[in-house]
Amino acid sequence: MIFTFSIGDRVIQKESRVTAEILLIIGDRKAKIKDEDGFEYIVKISEILPLNSETDSSSSYGSSFKIKEEDIIIPESVKPKKSKLDRGGRVKIDLHIENLTTYYKHMQNSEIVRIQMEYCKKELDEAMLKSKHSLEIVHGIGEGVLKSEVHKLLKLYNLTFFESQDSGSTEVLL
């Protein structure tokens, strides 16, 4: 079934089930959308479905339809993974984007780095509030963009840090 979309239409993404609004139609195959979290990105028209407000409510299922709290299951892939203590009791912050959000495939690199850095700052602040002595920030090897941003943040905080031997993480003394 082929749907015709217009600017302002509410849609739902097939894969991630995230709702969004169409901001721009690009040719006959793509659309720019803004999701419920305010992120904007370009998707293929084939990856979205219209969101029908008439059937997008619990009343659409009848008055006897009730959701019990124990019936709600949130898959692990949807839950953001928290920083974890490693065996030495120090905090480990993994900034790999697949650990922070489930829908990142259509994001621009700048959006991904922004999300990673917001998460890093939040976890760093939390570790300092909890009086942790050290932490490991896993940024990966890649081209070094994220590592560079992490090091800039650590310099702003005036913290002592050094790269691990594998260069995929940075050790920080708090």
pLDDT tens string 116-168: 999 999 999 888 888 888 899 999 888 889 999 999 999 998 999 998 877 78
3-class DSSP assignment, residue 48:
strand
Strand partners, 113: none
For 171, counting Cβ atoms within 10 Å of its Cβ (0-12 exposed, 13-18 middle, 19+ buried), the class is middle
Q: What is the pTM of this model?
A: 0.52
**Residue 104: domain span:** 84-173
Instruction: Determine the angle formed by the axes of helices 145-156 and 109-129, rounding to 10 degrees.
Output: 40
Pair 91, 162 in one domain:
yes
Which CATH number belongs to the domain containing residue 158 in this structure? 3.30.1370.110
Classify residue 4: in a domain, yes or no. Answer: no
67-75 average pLDDT score: 47
Is 137 within a domain? yes
Per the structure, the count of domains in the chain is 2
Q: Are residues 88 and 154 in the same domain?
A: yes
Asked if the structure places residue 93 within a domain, the reply is yes
Helix and strand counts by DSSP (H, E) for the chain: 2, 10
Identify whether 5 is part of a domain: no
Structure tokens at 120: 């890093």
The chain-wide mean pLDDT, for the chain, equals 79
Q: Does the residue 38 lie in any domain?
A: yes
